[in-house]
Structure 1
């Protein structure tokens, strides 16, 4: 629960605190929920817990905030992930770029209210002493960090 507490301190629009977490712990709950997420084959069944990260979009009050739940949800999820790692557990964020049919399907399980938008799932479990992980090289810093004032003066 300390990881959930870390998520509570994520920045959010007007301090609305719209982030929500659903923890699935039984094998049946996890299996059913993961059947709607298509990026967990080969390891999803090994997770001790599956968390579903959502944002209550009823907290977004203005039409100009129509994308704010993605921003707040991402910050909330990041704090949650850092909190999991701070407790010594492993976490794998599982994206929720799902078509409406899968979104409706997971909602039929009864955990997620209609007013909440699913941001992602997170597979959580103990870390092994040793394991192999895929590692992608990162782009050079010069490709992602720009200083327009300095760059245009040259």
Structure 2
């Protein structure tokens, strides 16, 4: 909010510190960048807020679990994980024309070479994927990758619509949503939105690495859900969202031509 209030977030700072302390107690905080981010943001909050009865209490609780932390020390040598101004010097130099070319290059490929996919390349694509926006940065999803030849035979048959090319898939990704971070029905669709945003970045990144992909719909059918849950050993709050077949594209395998709807039809200004 601009201009920033001298005192803010009093209604939920106690809950926030509760969650922070819970995470600190349960996880190894060494070299954990998310813990560093949580700590830096709370430290900055306590630094900029004026004294207030509610905030003062929570500040003491925060310092109790960080006894060596100096809230006033904003000049720490390492980079502080708090809001920052956009820096053009760090921007990509990819033009719109090149990006648009990449979006047209990415098409659903169903014929792959019989060649294993290096896990390092998949990890690189996932690193790009998790830069996608996520509501409150919860990132309520995870990727299960199956590349074992025997397990692949089972995995590729779980969704529908893969008949005829399932045998060609070299690595199979199942995007799984986690509902454990949500308590309100208003958020029940976020696992699908956030995972889908990341999945598009994942597929574009794969193209830059010489790999191709095919997004595969996950059917909302109970027996399929149960089979996937058993196969991946999912927890009760986890749901399959979609699958993605990956591999090196076979140059002799044709790609279905897909004419997209005209801009004038799909775009509506108000």
Pair in the same fold by TM > 0.5 = yes
Match of 1:56 in 2: 178
The 5-angstrom pairing of residues 5-154 of structure 1 reads: 5-148=127-270
SS at match of 2:139: coil
TM-aligned CA deviation for residue 60 of structure 1: 2.6
User: CA separation in 2, counterparts of 1:141 and 1:76?
Assistant: 24
Note the aligned Cα RMSD (angstroms).
1.4
Change (3 A) 1:37 1:21: same
User: CA separation in 1, counterparts of 2:156 and 2:176?
Assistant: 15
Match of 2:56 in 1: none
User: Is the CA contact (8 Å cut-off) linking 1:19 and 1:56 kept in structure 2?
Assistant: yes
User: Is the CA contact (8 Å cut-off) linking 1:18 and 1:56 kept in structure 2?
Assistant: yes
User: Is the CA contact (8 Å cut-off) linking 1:13 and 1:72 kept in structure 2?
Assistant: yes
User: Is the CA contact (8 Å cut-off) linking 2:140 and 2:178 kept in structure 1?
Assistant: yes
Deviations 1:34-89 (A, max 9, x none): 22211111111111100111121112332211111111111121121112112110
Q: Unpaired segments of 5 or more residues in structure 2?
A: 1-122
TM-aligned CA deviation for residue 130 of structure 1: 4.0
User: CA separation in 1, counterparts of 2:253 and 2:150?
Assistant: 27
Aligned length: 148
* Rg larger for: 2
More strand, by proportion: 1
Q: Unpaired segments of 5 or more residues in structure 1?
A: 149-154
